[in-house]
């Protein structure tokens, strides 16, 4: 019986793949902090969540492995001081890079938003500065709250053909979430209060 072939790879890439998978797995948690609604990368966060839900555990594993060399190539050309501890590799760089620099669309293979390690590094630094300058005016967010808002938007689009009804009335949505209201019933009542045109039938 012949000896199996030894597969050689860079252990740094393996570790990066594990870190990337942790980021993708985190998006599947039902609870936990998420970005506030007015954060400049809120939409990117939600696209990642949708992608992870659609492609499941197998997709998360395959993409973590596929993206690891790209993530490692950008980290290797970061400023030396940042790599020596100014930026935490696993708790800051990897999750931030995936949020700022990767495009999670309906395609299974996740793509960088721009080609080239140096351009991605510059994009990452610019995104960090943008995040530091951001001051939220919205309430704290959680995965559970995000799911409530998504269900409300879907209901508003189906009943009133007006998904932005939810973003146009954030205080009412927040109160409904805190009161643990049913998304469909809340949206129906809100639309009726505003005398919107009913495109029902309501479920």
- Cα separation, 3 vs 181, in Å, equals 62
Check residue 195 and give left, alpha or beta (phi > 0: left; psi -120 to 50: alpha): left
- Cα separation, 47 vs 41, in Å, equals 10
Residue with tokens 């995000």: 146
Pick the closest to residue 68 from 53, 90, 45, 85 (CA basis).
Answer: 90
Residue pair 141/35 in contact (Cβ under 8 Å)? The answer is yes
Task: Kindly report the number of other CB atoms within 10 A of residue 73's CB atom.
Answer: 16
Per the prediction, the chain carries an average pLDDT of 89
* Reported pTM: 0.79
Is the per-residue pLDDT at 175 higher than 60? yes
Which residues in 117-127 are b (16+ Cβ under 10 Å) and which e?
Answer: beebbebbeeb
Question: Can you read off the two tokens belonging to residue 99?
Answer: 């949020």
- Hey, is 164 helix, strand or coil? coil
pLDDT of residue 143: 87
- Cα separation, 131 vs 128, in Å, equals 5
Check residue 92 and give left, alpha or beta (phi > 0: left; psi -120 to 50: alpha): alpha
Q: In the predicted model, what is the mean pLDDT of residues 11-21?
A: 91
What does the pLDDT look like over 147-172, one tens digit per residue?
A: 999 999 999 999 999 999 999 999 99
What does the pLDDT look like over 84-134, one tens digit per residue?
A: 989 999 999 999 999 999 999 878 999 999 999 999 999 999 999 999 999
Residue 123 half-sphere exposure toward CB, CA atoms < 13 A: 17
Is the per-residue pLDDT at 2 higher than 70? no
pLDDT of residue 8: 55
Pick the closest to residue 102 from 82, 122, 124 (CA basis).
Answer: 124
Is the per-residue pLDDT at 61 higher than 60? yes
Across 93-143, where does the E strand assignment appear? Answer: 102-103, 111-112, 141-142
DSSP H or E stretch at residue 111: strand 111-112
pLDDT of residue 12: 84
């Amino acid at each position: 019986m012949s000896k199996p072939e030894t597969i050689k790879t860079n252990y740094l890439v393996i570790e990066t793949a594990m870190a990337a998978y942790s980021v993708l797995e985190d998006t599947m948690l039902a609870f936990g902090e998420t970005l506030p609604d007015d954060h400049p990368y809120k939409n990117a966060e939600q696209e990642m969540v949708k992608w992870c839900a659609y492609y499941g555990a197998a997709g998360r594993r395959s993409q973590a492995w596929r993206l690891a060399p790209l993530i490692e190539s950008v980290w290797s050309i970061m400023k030396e001081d940042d790599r020596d501890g100014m930026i935490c590799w696993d708790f800051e760089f990897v999750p931030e890079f995936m949020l700022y620099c990767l495009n999670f669309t309906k395609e299974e293979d996740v793509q960088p938003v721009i080609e080239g390690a140096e351009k991605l590094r510059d994009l990452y630094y610019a995104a960090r500065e943008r995040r530091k300058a951001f001051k939220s005016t919205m309430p704290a967010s959680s995965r559970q709250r995000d799911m409530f808002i998504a269900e409300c938007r879907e209901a508003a689009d189906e009943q009133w053909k007006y998904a932005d009804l939810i973003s146009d009335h954030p205080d009412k949505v927040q109160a409904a979430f805190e009161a643990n209201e049913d998304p469909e019933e809340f949206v129906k009542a809100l639309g009726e209060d505003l005398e919107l045109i009913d495109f029902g039938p309501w479920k």
